Amino acid sequence: MDSQPRPQILFSREQIEATVSNLATEINNNYRGKHPILIGVLKGSFVFMADLIRHLDFLLEVEFIRLSSYGRGRSTPGEIKVVQGLRSPIKGRDILIIEDIVDTGHSIAFLMDYLQKKKPASLRLCALTDKPSRRQVPVTIDYLGFTVPNKFIVGYGLDWDEKFRYLPDICFVEVED
């Protein structure tokens, strides 16, 4: 039989709801009167983004961007590329990136650099989770949901081999590197 890892709950849906609501309060305070573009990093951020924006109360636009991923495991990425780009210009706009997890930091460092070259008025990062024990390049997270241990995280949009994105809690699985 094909054995699958069994996800175990790290943060429950109730904890997520409270944390997302607190993050939204902070973001509302900082973006009041502004008209930013929120850029969700596909695919992992889609559940978080959907919940977060429903707590926001300023004029905002939503965009998505997709980067090449590292595939199944958690090994260091090769070259990172934008595989699905933005549909609208961001020059002079306030930009808030919505990411699922900052792990080694390579993807987000690449993305910040890529977006900065397009000359936004401001560029900030909101991440659902942070795994600082794995960091290889420095990343400043302006709005953070949860710090997670050095485990493979799934659920609430995050996947392992495209599985478990639909789980309503943030879980971890025991998998090989």
Interface residues with ligand IMP (CB under 6 A) are: 44, 74, 77, 99-108, 152-153, 158
At 116, is the secondary structure helix, strand, or coil?
Answer: helix
Separation CA 106–CA 125 (nearest Å)? 14
Tokens 């990425």 -> residue: 77
Nearest to ligand IMP of 51, 99 (CB atom)? 99
103 is catalytic: yes
Nearest to ligand IMP of 6, 32 (CB atom)? 6
Please, what is the end-to-end C-alpha distance for the chain in angstroms? 21
DSSP output for 61-125: EEEEEEE----SS-SPP-S--EEE--SS--TT-EEEEEEEEESSSHHHHHHHHHHHTT--SEEEE
Nearest to ligand IMP of 108, 123 (CB atom)? 108
Out of 51, 103, 130, 159, the active site residue is: 103
Q: How far is the CB of 45 from ligand IMP (least distance, A)?
A: 8
- Which one of residues 7, 36, 40, 44 is an interface residue with Mg ion (CB under 5 A)? 44
Q: How far is the CB of 121 from ligand IMP (least distance, A)?
A: 25
At 159, is the secondary structure helix, strand, or coil?
Answer: coil
Q: How far is the CB of 34 from ligand IMP (least distance, A)?
A: 26
Q: Extract the tokens encoding 101.
A: 């997890």
Choose the one of ligand IMP, Mg ion, none that binds residue 102, judging by a C-beta under 5 to 8 angstroms depending on kind. Answer: ligand IMP
Q: Name the residues annotated as catalytic.
A: 103
